[in-house]
Amino acid sequence: MTVRAPDPVETAASPPDSANEVETDSLLRRFASFALRCGMLWVLVVLVIVAQNLYPTFLTVDNVRNMMSQNAPAAIIAVGMTFVIIGGGFDLSVGAIYGLGAVTFAKMTSHLSLGINLVVVALVGIAAGLINGLIITRFKVNPFVATLGTSSLFLGAGFIYSNNYPVVAEAGSDWLGAGQFLGVPISGIVMVLVFLAGGILLSRTTFGQSVRAVGGNGEAARLAGLRVNTVRCTTYVLTGALAAVAGSIDTSKLSSGQADQGASLPLLTIAIVILGGTSLSGGEGAMWRTVVGLLIIATMTNLFDSLAVTTAVQLMAQGAVLIAAVGFDMFGRAALPRRRVAKR
Could you read off the pLDDT of 263-310 as tens digits, one per residue? 989 989 999 998 888 888 888 899 999 999 999 999 999 999 988 888
Q: Is pLDDT at 95 greater than 70 in this prediction?
A: yes
Angle, helices 206-216/186-204, rounded to nearest 10 degrees: 70
Q: Which residues contact 284 (CB under 8 A, 6 or more apart)?
A: 86, 212, 215, 216, 278
**What's the pLDDT band for 324 if we cut at 50, 70, 90?**
confident
Q: What is the pLDDT of residue 214?
A: 96
- Dihedral of CA atoms 116, 120, 125, 127 in degrees, nearest 10, equals 140
Choice between 42 and 61, residue whose per-residue pLDDT is larger: 61
Q: What is the pLDDT of residue 83?
A: 97
Query: Cα 228 to the chain's mean position, in Å?
Result: 22
User: Nearest to residue 57, comparing CAs of 321, 186, 65?
Assistant: 65
Q: What is the per-residue burial (b if ≥16 Cβ within 10 Å, else e) of 296-309?
A: bbbbbbbbbeeeee
Q: State how far the Cα of 197 lies from the Cα of 191, in Å rounded to an integer.
A: 10
Cβ contact 245:122 at 8 Å: yes
Cβ contact 208:60 at 8 Å: no
Q: What is the pLDDT of residue 337?
A: 55
pLDDT tens digits for 189-226? 999 999 999 999 999 999 999 999 999 999 999 999 99
Angle at 277 between CA 271 and CA 280, to 5 degrees: 65
Q: What is the pLDDT of residue 4?
A: 58
Q: State how far the Cα of 297 lies from the Cα of 78, in Å rounded to an integer.
A: 12
Q: State how far the Cα of 275 lies from the Cα of 177, in Å rounded to an integer.
A: 26
Helix/strand/coil (H/E/C) assignment for every residue in the chain: CCCCCCCCCCCCCCHHHHHHHHHHHHHHHHHHHHHHHCHHHHHHHHHHHHHHHHCCCCCCHHHHHHHHHHHHHHHHHHHHHHHHHHCCCCCCCHHHHHHHHHHHHHHHCCCCCHHHHHHHHHHHHHHHHHHHHHHHHHCCCCHHHHHHHHHHHHHHHHHHHCCCCCEECCCCCCHHHHCEECCEEHHHHHHHHHHHHHHHHHHHCHHHHHHHHHHHCHHHHHHCCCCHHHHHHHHHHHHHHHHHHHHHHHHHHHCEECCCCCCCHHHHHHHHHHHCCCCCCCCCCCHHHHHHHHHHHHHHHHHHHHCCCCHHHHHHHHHHHHHHHHHHHHHHHHHHHHHHHHHC
Q: What is the mean pLDDT of the chain?
A: 87
pLDDT tens digits for 221-249? 999 999 999 999 999 999 999 999 999 99
pLDDT tens digits for 108-155? 998 889 999 999 999 999 999 999 999 999 999 999 999 999 999 999
Q: What is the pLDDT of residue 203?
A: 95
